[in-house]
Amino acid sequence: MEKLILKAEKRNIFGKKNKNLRKKGLIPAILYGKKIESYPLEIKAQDFHTIYKKSGDTNIIDLEFEEQGKKQVRNVLVQDVSYHFLNGQPIHIDFYEVEMDKLIKAHVPVNFFGESPAIAKGGILVKSMNEIEVEALPKDLPHEIPVDISKLIDFNQTIYIKDIKFPSEVKVLVDEETPIASISEPISEEELEKELGEAKTVEDVEVEGEAEKVDKEEEKKEESEEEEQQEEKKD
């Protein structure tokens, strides 16, 4: 497996001033773990995009930065990414340092592939799960879980957790009888029109209100970081 290295620098800007970092193409981030204190960082946006495409939320990243003049390399997972509501760009990243000899739980995305004969007949693919919770050592976490839908030949067929072959190092934390995907029979034009009509009656989400909500949550996170830094300086 390719080694994923992401370089970072210590961050000395907090709170609302983080907006200045983003204008420079940097993303504010925080590193934390069971055995370390939270550590503020800044990452080049382009570097993060490149690595995150390969790592997702389940592949280990070697996070490199300097602390008191000494090079630090930490094994981390991307724990959370906050995105701007309007442009979809990441505005804050949480990195979690893992212990390589300790089991961890993670939600691994499902990758549906193949061509289902039932879909070719007009059937509708119903995806019941987009991710599956598993437990494994950090190095054994799969990047994704492939699910071959070509096995769905007839209408009303279902693929269950028990039908998927997982690596022996991975423990599945979902009941084996849980459905992952199935094929439903074709829907008539009358039924489709009825469903579309009902969908149109649902109230539209107000973009401005949602954007304000996201901004407030991000502002709260940044203010919390700023308070932590002030407390550390007092100590």
pLDDT of residue 223: 62
Distance CA 1, CA 4 (A): 9
Whether residue 66 is contained in a domain is answered as yes
The domain boundary, picked from 41, 66, 98, lies at: 98
Residue 81 burial (CB < 10 Å; 0-12/13-18/19+)?
middle
CB 60 within 8 A of CB 37: no
Mind listing the pLDDT tens digit for each residue in 80-98? 999 998 889 999 999 999 9
Judge whether residue 73 has pLDDT over 90: yes
Mind listing the pLDDT tens digit for each residue in 123-172? 999 999 999 999 999 999 999 999 999 999 999 899 999 999 999 999 99
pLDDT band at 201 (very low <50, low <70, confident <90, very high): very low
Whether residue 218 is contained in a domain is answered as no
* Mean pLDDT of all residues in 215-225: 63
Is there a single domain that holds both residue 94 and residue 118? no
Count of beta carbons in the 10 Å neighbourhood of residue 42: 21
Total domain count, the chain: 2
The domain boundary, picked from 98, 123, 157, lies at: 98
Is there a single domain that holds both residue 184 and residue 146? yes
Is there a single domain that holds both residue 149 and residue 181? yes
Is there a single domain that holds both residue 68 and residue 111? no
Q: Structural domain of residue 72, as residue ranges? A: 5-98
Whether residue 48 is contained in a domain is answered as yes
pLDDT of residue 213: 57
Is there a single domain that holds both residue 79 and residue 113? no
The domain boundary, picked from 82, 98, 114, lies at: 98
Is there a single domain that holds both residue 169 and residue 87? no
Judge whether residue 203 has pLDDT over 60: no
CB 4 within 8 A of CB 51: yes
Is there a single domain that holds both residue 93 and residue 123? no
Whether residue 210 is contained in a domain is answered as no
Whether residue 230 is contained in a domain is answered as no
pLDDT of residue 13: 85
Please name the amino acid found at residue 170: V
Is there a single domain that holds both residue 109 and residue 196? yes
Is there a single domain that holds both residue 136 and residue 70? no
Judge whether residue 68 has pLDDT over 90: no
The CATH number covering residue 115 comes to 2.170.120.20
Is there a single domain that holds both residue 195 and residue 119? yes
- Extended strands (E) in 84-195: 90-97, 104-113, 124-127, 131-136, 145-148, 158-160, 171-172, 179-184
Whether residue 222 is contained in a domain is answered as no
Please name the amino acid found at residue 92: H
CB 144 within 8 A of CB 110: yes
pLDDT band at 199 (very low <50, low <70, confident <90, very high): low
DSSP string for 14-61: -GGGHHHHHHTTEEEEEEEETTEEEEEEEEEHHHHHHHHHHHTTTS-E
pLDDT of residue 16: 85
Whether residue 223 is contained in a domain is answered as no
The CATH number covering residue 57 comes to 2.40.240.10
Is there a single domain that holds both residue 58 and residue 94? yes
